[in-house]
Amino acid sequence: MDVTIPNLGDIDEVEVIEICAAVGDVLAENDTIVVIESDKASMDIPSPAAGTLKSLQVEVGERITEGHVIATIEADESSDDKDESEAAEEKDAEPHRQEASEPIKSSLSSTEDKSESAQSSQEIEVLVPDIGDASGVVVIEIAVQEGDVIEVNDLLVVLESDKASMEITAEHAGTVLEVAVSVDEEVSEGSLLARLRTDGAGKKSDAQSSEKAAEEPAEKAPPATAGDAKPQSRSDSTGDAQPDDDGRGQDAASAKVYAGPATRRLARELGVDLSEIKGTGSRNRITKDDVKDFVKQQMVAGRSGGTAGGGLPQVAQIDFAKFGPVEMVPLTRIQRRGADNLHRSWVNLPHVTQHDETDITDLEDFRQSLKQEAERKGIKITPLAFIVKACCHALREYPNFNASLHADGQQLVRKQYINIGMAVDTPEGLVVPVIKAADEKSIWQLSAEIADLSDKARDKKLAMDDLQGGTFSVSSLGALGGTGFTPIVNAPEVAILGVSKLQTKPLWNGEAFVPRKVLPLSLSYDHRVINGADGGRFMNYLVSSLADIRRLAL
Ligand code: CAO
């Protein structure tokens, strides 16, 4: 009995990426023989019957098309007397036999559905909105399922990039027809997330639309491909190889490797055997990060002489459980990405941190005097708005702090705009939204934007654009305490200001010690770009601007 590549829908060619059986192997029905992959998805080709694998007609890396014979099976006794046409008939009759070919069929039918939906004005597609230049955006949460009745603003899906999480909410009330993604799936701008049928009721009025109405030309809809099929289980997906819901797939050869096409591609490029990796994704799915972490571990483990990558001394691996009970707490994606970014900056940039203090008694008096007005305006006014304002003035005065070192190491890219990144502490980890054109904004505007961006960061409502384009950062731990710290530069920026807790201290005014409100500042900078004297000048400028905020009006 020949095993052939089934109907591939609109896919011309696929690549054999894995061979899961050897000639002579005794196979059970539905045991995976090979795994094929297109640009969008991977798919197991299972044995259509129990029997012995007599020959394999493909090799890993070979590109093949629909109908290509990949193997020959000698069916065991129970099916020996069946010829191929009988087997094919039986395949139509038995539901489980349809598992291999059904996904491909579903990809074709989804094309039809889409063209139908394009004719109906009530069916809409929810697409991934503009996510700027963010890469590696994954679905981390799906809040609805097929058949759910939803209201405007109901949460549909949560996406997460290296930098932040973003909630995709419904702009129309209606019913969920299809959820087109699964948790841990990587998506990009324009990817289909879900299809809804509107009930003709409300629609969000704001323009931040992440849904595209079906009345748009049908050809605008992305072509239906195997990758568009909903990857929920092996029986209805041409997407990832996934364990069956009852876990049977865990034991089956076909489900040994549970990973998406992009992860498989990365593993192939790096020469990694996916079966050696334990997946950390949902239902033990192997993610790209798992592959990268595995490679890192291999590099560290493989190195002799106690050095890690880049010749750095290796931190000892200790079995802490030997000394008492331990608990393993997984880091959030933002924490892991943050750790990578901070480490990258720390090992690449020669950091210097300069500490100083500024007397902001007058600033604080002024700020207190604004409290009633602030309440009327509904704006919370904290010292941070003044600090950001002072930084903008200092950056204009010292433009090398508002710059990045060019990749060739020979030039400085001075930016003609001033965008201030603001570190915000969130339950998922540190997030740095950016106040755009901060130098053009008043203290009121800055205060409102600081509150707005920090609320959005904590509520996972930041757009990708809110996280991009920073030219200098401020990290305020003032509300928490401390007398100083060494903030890490948010590379490729070249400097960051750390702010610690305001304290009332006795200061000598020439005649007596008087109580003054003193704010500690810590300026870290990239010493390749900024020398100590420049650092000193920048800090002096900040200190005097904050000590006498009339200077900010100059
Ligand atoms: N000294 C003393 N009090 C301060 C202060 C300072 N330097 N800065 C702010 N405060 C006060 C505020 O005035 C406010 O008090 P009132 O409510 O009485 O007015 C209170 O502390 C709380 O302020 P806030 O934190 O809500 O607002 P903010 O504008 O000062 O800061 C934000 C906003 C988002 C920067 C902050 O909430 C935050 O997340 N900080 C953490 C940043 C961080 O984690 N950095 C570390 C990065 S490196 O790992």
Q: Is the CB of 524 under 6 A from ligand 1?
A: no
- The whole domain housing 273 covers 256-321
For residue 73, report the distance from its CA to the centre of ligand 1, in Å.
69
Q: Is the CB of 454 under 6 A from ligand 1?
A: yes
Q: Is the CB of 489 under 6 A from ligand 1?
A: no
**pLDDT band (50, 70, 90) for residue 474:** very high
Of 431, 425, 517, residue with least CA distance to 480: 425
What confidence score (pLDDT) does residue 301 get?
63
How far apart, in whole angstroms, are the C-alpha atoms of residue 543 and residue 58?
72
One domain, residues 178 and 295: no
106 Cβ contact list (under 8 Å, min separation 6): 229, 236, 238
How far apart, in whole angstroms, are the C-alpha atoms of residue 148 and residue 235?
22
Q: Is the CB of 227 under 6 A from ligand 1?
A: no
- DSSP tag of 281: S
Give per-residue pLDDT as tens, 308-352.
556 778 888 899 999 999 999 999 889 998 999 999 999 999 999
How far apart, in whole angstroms, are the C-alpha atoms of residue 495 and residue 489?
5
Number of the ligand 1 atom closest to the C-alpha atom of 485: 48
Tell me the two tokens of residue 474: 């401020």
**Within a domain: residue 84?**
no
Number of the ligand 1 atom closest to the C-alpha atom of 385: 29
Ligand 1: which residue has its CA nearest to atom 25?
479
Query: Is residue 493 a contact partner of residue 404, using CB atoms and an 8 Å limit?
Result: yes
Query: Is residue 179 a contact partner of residue 170, using CB atoms and an 8 Å limit?
Result: no
3-class SS letters over 184-219: CCEECCCCEEEEEEEEEEEECCCCCCCEEECCCCHH
**pLDDT band (50, 70, 90) for residue 505:** very high
Order of strands across the sheet with 155-160?
165-169, 155-160, 137-142, 186-187
Tell me the two tokens of residue 191: 């990817």
One domain, residues 45 and 189: no
Whether 222 has a pLDDT exceeding 60, the answer reads: no
- The Cα-based distances of 457 to 176, 431, 475 in angstroms read 28, 7, 15
What confidence score (pLDDT) does residue 337 get?
87
Q: Is the CB of 255 under 6 A from ligand 1?
A: no
One domain, residues 459 and 360: yes
- DSSP tag of 276: G
**Within a domain: residue 67?**
yes
One domain, residues 156 and 265: no
One domain, residues 419 and 529: yes
Q: Is the CB of 106 under 6 A from ligand 1?
A: no
Q: Which of 118 and 392 is assigned the larger pLDDT?
A: 392
- DSSP tag of 305: T
DSSP string for residues in 457-495: HHTT---GGGGS--SEEEEE-TTT--S---PPP-TTS-E
One domain, residues 483 and 547: yes
How far apart, in whole angstroms, are the C-alpha atoms of residue 394 and residue 388?
10
**Within a domain: residue 92?**
no
One domain, residues 314 and 345: no
258 Cβ contact list (under 8 Å, min separation 6): 240, 241, 242, 243, 249, 279, 283, 284, 285, 286
Number of the ligand 1 atom closest to the C-alpha atom of 519: 7
Instruction: Specify the pairing of strand 513-526 against strand 503-508.
Output: antiparallel
Q: Which CATH number does the domain housing residue 497 bear?
A: 3.30.559.10
H/E element, 504: strand 503-508
Which of 95-109, 112-126, 181-195, 267-281 shows the lowest mean pLDDT across its residues? 95-109
- DSSP tag of 410: S
Query: Is residue 264 a contact partner of residue 186, using CB atoms and an 8 Å limit?
Result: no
Whether 529 has a pLDDT exceeding 80, the answer reads: yes
Instruction: Specify the pairing of strand 424-426 against strand 420-422.
Output: unpaired
Among 384, 456, 493, 505, which residue has the most ligand 1 atoms within 8 Å of its CB, making it the best to mutate?
A: 384
3-class SS letters over 3-31: EECCCCCCCCCEEEEEECCCCCCEECCCC
Backbone CA torsion sign across 366, 370, 371, 372: positive
Number of the ligand 1 atom closest to the C-alpha atom of 424: 39
Number of the ligand 1 atom closest to the C-alpha atom of 426: 39
**pLDDT band (50, 70, 90) for residue 152:** confident
**Within a domain: residue 87?**
no
Instruction: Specify the pairing of strand 32-37 against strand 14-19.
Output: antiparallel
For residue 489, report the distance from its CA to the centre of ligand 1, in Å.
19
**Within a domain: residue 261?**
yes
Whether 497 has a pLDDT exceeding 80, the answer reads: yes
For residue 479, report the distance from its CA to the centre of ligand 1, in Å.
4
**Within a domain: residue 223?**
no
One domain, residues 365 and 490: yes
One domain, residues 288 and 400: no
Q: Which CATH number does the domain housing residue 162 bear?
A: 2.40.50.100
Give per-residue pLDDT as tens, 394-415.
999 999 999 999 989 899 999 9
One domain, residues 342 and 485: yes
**pLDDT band (50, 70, 90) for residue 290:** confident
Query: Is residue 47 a contact partner of residue 252, using CB atoms and an 8 Å limit?
Result: no
For residue 480, report the distance from its CA to the centre of ligand 1, in Å.
7
Residue-averaged pLDDT of the chain: 80
Tell me the two tokens of residue 352: 């210097």
**Within a domain: residue 344?**
yes
Q: Is the CB of 425 under 6 A from ligand 1?
A: yes
Among 369, 476, 503, which residue has the most ligand 1 atoms within 8 Å of its CB, making it the best to mutate?
A: 476
For residue 438, report the distance from its CA to the centre of ligand 1, in Å.
18
Q: Is 447 left (phi over 0), alpha (psi -120 to 50) or beta?
A: alpha
Count of domains observed in the chain? 4
**Within a domain: residue 24?**
yes
Catalytic residues: 527
- The Cα-based distances of 92 to 71, 86, 446, 493 in angstroms read 21, 10, 66, 62
One domain, residues 401 and 435: yes
One domain, residues 121 and 260: no
Each residue of 205-230: b (16+ CB within 10 Å) or e?
eeeeebbbbbeeeeeebeebbbbbbb
Which of 64-78, 84-98, 169-183, 240-254 shows the lowest mean pLDDT across its residues? 240-254
